[in-house]
Amino acid sequence: MSRRKLVFIVNPRSGVERNKQVQQAIDQIIDKDLYEYEILHTQRAGHGEDLAREAAANGVFAVVAVGGDGSVNDIIRGLYGTGTALAIIPKGSGNGLARALQIPMKVEKALQLINRGKTEMIDIGKANGKIFASNAGLGYDALICKKFANSNRRGLAIYSWLVTKYMWLYRDRSWTIRVNGEELKRKAFLINVANGTQMGYNFKIAPDADWTDGLFDLVIIRKFPKILGGLLAYRMFDGSLLNSRFVERIRTDRVEVSAPDLKWMQTDGDPVSCAETVVFEMLKGVQKVIIP
Ligand SMILES: Nc1ncnc2c1ncn2[C@@H]1O[C@H](COP(=O)(O)OP(=O)(O)OP(=O)(O)O)[C@@H](O)[C@H]1O
């Protein structure tokens, strides 16, 4: 039987550790009877999209994102509409997508998963036409992603610092949300449109979201006394966010969110500029992914 092709796309800038040992681990663990492979490195932000598209055009079985959510997002954009599977070696900072899919954080274990080659078709979202896999958001979480992207440092310490600082500084906006035939008005801290369960670092914004149900978990964190911010963060860690009286969860396959002077959203943790209205649309079961 002819061997299947894999292309590894390594983002040398993601995460806190550098990727020196990854090539060695790939060479040691990938089953050479099953696969032939190539390892490529991105040269710039967004390069992963072009490399993934080219790999898919060459009939590759799977493109392996070696990086975090931003890298996976680049690669999914390149793979969209092709039959090529996505696999992930979590080497980012938060690794929200990989954690939500229960892909092991250890490189060796994630590689063994690729040898097993079990796949599932997952849902993908669009925010004003821009593809996202894990979640997209407006308000405070878009602000944090923008500040994180502007920072030269990576990792939980800087993330925690930004989360705390801007929780106090962020001013809640008035939003209009059109969903399931209703128009809702909310004064809210953040609005997140989740496909996966978490934002990375095990911060579960939508603890019971399902990748395969064709629906988003729209999570609205309404204005709350800032003194309770720590409790809400704790609730994200322990998976009980939806029990908070400040949190609303609505399931839908389409939602339109507007706020005056809106300028930024985040898709899979990367800041993206936007206009006053953002339309989120669900694409059911369109991306093949290697899963545990
Ligand atoms: N060679 C490169 N130089 C600069 N930026 C790059 C390069 N390759 C990819 N990128 C960009 O780096 C951004 C961040 O990468 P990634 O998400 O993988 O790491 P991270 O932010 O450390 O992890 P996470 O998103 O899981 O917290 C992505 O938006 C990606 O487009």
Question: Is the residue at 210 inside a domain?
Answer: yes
Q: Which atom of ligand 1 is nearest to the CA of 96?
A: 26
- Average the pLDDT over 158-164 and give the result: 89
Determine what percent of the chain is predicted with pLDDT higher than 70.
Answer: 98
Q: Which atom of ligand 1 is nearest to the CA of 41?
A: 1
Give the Å distance between the CA of 91 and the centre of ligand 1: 10
Q: Whose CA is nearest to atom 13 of ligand 1?
A: 70
Of 117, 141, 169, the one marking the end of a domain is 117
**185-209 pLDDT tens trace:** 999 999 999 999 999 989 999 999 9
Q: Which atom of ligand 1 is nearest to the CA of 71?
A: 18
Q: Whose CA is nearest to atom 2 of ligand 1?
A: 44
- pLDDT at 14 (0 to 100): 77
- pLDDT at 89 (0 to 100): 96
**Distance (Å, rounded) from C-alpha 268 to C-alpha 74?**
10
289 burial (CB, 10 Å; 0-12 / 13-18 / 19+) is buried
Q: Which atom of ligand 1 is nearest to the CA of 65?
A: 18
Mutate which of 9, 13, 17, 93 for ligand 1? The one with the most ligand atoms within 8 Å of its CB, which is 13
Question: Is the residue at 289 inside a domain?
Answer: no
ipTM, 2 dp? 0.94
Work out how many domains the chain is built from and give that number.
2
Give the Å distance between the CA of 11 and the centre of ligand 1: 6
pLDDT at residue 18 is higher than 70: no
What is the DSSP-derived secondary structure letter of residue 263? -
154 and 266 together in one domain: yes
- pLDDT at 192 (0 to 100): 98
64 and 166 together in one domain: no
Q: Whose CA is nearest to atom 29 of ligand 1?
A: 70
Residue 28: closest CA among 114, 94, 129, 133: 114
pLDDT at residue 153 is higher than 90: no
**Distance (Å, rounded) from C-alpha 98 to C-alpha 134?**
9
Residue 101: closest CA among 123, 82, 80, 116: 123
268 and 147 together in one domain: yes
Determine what percent of the chain is predicted with pLDDT higher than 90.
Answer: 88
**218-245 pLDDT tens trace:** 999 999 999 999 999 999 999 999 999 9
Question: Is the residue at 292 inside a domain?
Answer: no
What is the DSSP-derived secondary structure letter of residue 2? P
pLDDT range class, residue 156, cuts 50, 70, 90: confident
What is the DSSP-derived secondary structure letter of residue 198? B
- pLDDT at 15 (0 to 100): 67
Question: Do 205 and 241 touch, CB atoms closer than 8 A?
Answer: yes
Fill in the amino acid letter for 105: M
Question: Is the residue at 122 inside a domain?
Answer: no
Give the Å distance between the CA of 172 and the centre of ligand 1: 29
Give the Å distance between the CA of 71 and the centre of ligand 1: 5
Q: Whose CA is nearest to atom 19 of ligand 1?
A: 14
- pLDDT at 13 (0 to 100): 85
Question: Is the residue at 230 inside a domain?
Answer: yes
Q: Whose CA is nearest to atom 30 of ligand 1?
A: 45
Mean pLDDT of the chain: 95
**163-186 pLDDT tens trace:** 899 999 999 999 999 999 999 999
The H-assigned helical ranges of the chain are 20-29, 47-57, 69-79, 96-100, 107-116, 140-150, 156-169, 229-238
Question: Is the residue at 123 inside a domain?
Answer: no
Residue 19 CB–ligand 1 contact under 6 Å: no
Q: Which atom of ligand 1 is nearest to the CA of 270?
A: 29
- pLDDT at 110 (0 to 100): 98
pLDDT range class, residue 148, cuts 50, 70, 90: confident
- pLDDT at 1 (0 to 100): 67
- Average the pLDDT over 47-54 and give the result: 98
**Distance (Å, rounded) from C-alpha 82 to C-alpha 239?**
34
Of 58, 87, 117, the one marking the end of a domain is 117
150 and 33 together in one domain: no
Question: Is the residue at 268 inside a domain?
Answer: yes
- Average the pLDDT over 264-290 and give the result: 97
CATH number (domain holding residue 109):
3.40.50.10330
155 and 111 together in one domain: no
- pLDDT at 219 (0 to 100): 98
**Distance (Å, rounded) from C-alpha 185 to C-alpha 36?**
54
- Average the pLDDT over 100-129 and give the result: 97
- pLDDT at 159 (0 to 100): 83
Residue 99 CB–ligand 1 contact under 6 Å: no
148 and 273 together in one domain: yes
104 and 148 together in one domain: no
Of 71, 91, 117, the one marking the end of a domain is 117
- Average the pLDDT over 35-55 and give the result: 97
- Rounded to two decimals, what is the model's pTM? 0.93
135 and 279 together in one domain: yes
146 and 78 together in one domain: no
Contacts of 2 (CB under 8 A, 6+ apart): none
pLDDT range class, residue 147, cuts 50, 70, 90: very high
- pLDDT at 16 (0 to 100): 59
173 and 108 together in one domain: no
Residue 178: closest CA among 193, 163, 164, 166: 193
- Average the pLDDT over 81-90 and give the result: 97
- pLDDT at 2 (0 to 100): 86
Range of the domain at 265: 130-283
Mutate which of 40, 71, 162 for ligand 1? The one with the most ligand atoms within 8 Å of its CB, which is 71
Question: Is the residue at 67 inside a domain?
Answer: yes
253 and 230 together in one domain: yes
47 and 96 together in one domain: yes
CATH number (domain holding residue 207):
2.60.200.40
